[in-house]
Amino acid sequence: MSFLNLWAFAIAGAVIPTLLILYFLKLRRREEVVPSTLLWKKAIQDLQVNAPFQKLRKNLLLFLQLLILSAAITALARPIVQTNESQDERVVLLIDRSASMNTREGDHTRFELAREQAIRRVKTYNRRSSGWFSFVGGQAPTKVMVIAFADRARVVAPFTVNTNELVELIRGVEPSDARTNLREALELAEAYMLPPSMTTDKTPVATEAPARLLMFSDGCVPGMNELVLRGGTMEWVRIGDATDNVGITALRTQRSYEEPELLDVFLQVENFGATPVQTDVSIHINGQLSQGRVRTVSLGPAAPRRDVGAETRPEPGADAGQGASRTISFELTVDEAAVLEARLSRTDALAVDNSAWAVIPPPRKLKVLVASAGNPFIESVLAGLPLEKRVFVRPDEYEKMPAAELEADGRAVYDLIVLDKHSTARLPAGNYLFLGAAPQISGVQLGEEFGPHPLIWWDETHAVLRHVLLDYVVVFKSRVLTAPPESQVLVEGPRGPVMVRYANEGRHFLICSAAVENTNWWRKRSFGVFMHNATRYLGSGGAEESQSGVHPGDTLMLTVPAGTQEAKLIRPDAATPRVRVDADGGMRYSDTERVGVYRVEPGVSGRDRAAVNIEDRRESDIVPPGGVLKLGGGVQVAQAQQIRTSTPEVWRWFIGLALAVVLLEWYIYNRRVMI
Q: Are 115 and 168 in contact (CB under 8 A)?
A: no
Q: Taking a C-beta distance cutoff of 8 angstroms, is the pair 451, 481 a contact?
A: no
What local confidence, expressed as pLDDT, does residue 255 receive? 82
Give the pTM.
0.69
Q: What does the alpha-carbon distance between residue 239 and residue 109 come to, in Å, rounded to a whole number? A: 10
Tens digits of per-residue pLDDT, 205-250?
445 667 899 999 999 998 888 898 888 889 999 999 999 999 999 9
Predicted pLDDT at 155: 95
Could you write out the DSSP letters of every residue in 331-368? EEE--S-EEEEEEE----S--TTSEEEEEEPPP---EE
d(CA 331, CA 358): 15
What's the pLDDT score for residue 57? 58
The residue ranges of the chain whose pLDDT is under 70 are 1-9, 12, 19-30, 37-59, 61-62, 78, 80-87, 127-140, 195-209, 292, 305-322, 541-549, 584-585, 645-651, 672-675
Q: Strand 416-420 and strand 431-435: pairing?
A: parallel
Query: Which pLDDT score, from 0 to 100, does residue 316 have?
Result: 41
Q: Three-state DSSP class for 496?
A: strand
User: b/e map of 502-525 (b: 16 or more CB within 10 Å)?
Assistant: bbbebbbbbbbbbbbbbbebbebe
Helix (H) or strand (E) holding 163: helix 163-171
* 633 phi-psi bin (left φ>0, alpha ψ -120 to 50, beta other): left
So what's the pLDDT on residue 608?
Answer: 85
Structural domains in the chain, sorted by start: 2-80+658-674 (no CATH), 84-196+206-241+629-639 (3.40.50.410), 250-361 (2.60.40.10), 367-545 (3.40.50.880), 550-612 (2.60.40)
Q: Which residues have a Cβ under 8 Å from the Cβ of 304 and sit 6 or more positions away?
A: 274
First to last CA, the chain: 43
d(CA 582, CA 572): 23
224 and 629 Cβ atoms separated by less than 8 Å = yes
**Three-state SS letters, 49-79:** HCCCCCCCCCCHHHHHHHHHHHHHHHHHCCE
Helix (H, G, I), strand (E, B) or coil at 458: strand
Q: How much is the pLDDT for 28? A: 56
**CA 220 – CA 241 distance, rounded (Å):** 12
Quick one: which of 572, 507, 553 has its CA closest to 359? 572
Cα→Cα distances 509→104, 118, 390, 550, Å: 47, 50, 19, 22
Q: Taking each helix axis as running N to C, give the angle between helix 8-24 and helix 60-76, from 0 to 180 degrees, rounded to the nearest 10.
A: 160
pLDDT at 458: 95
Evaluate whether 349 touches 220 at the Cβ level (below 8 Å).
Answer: no
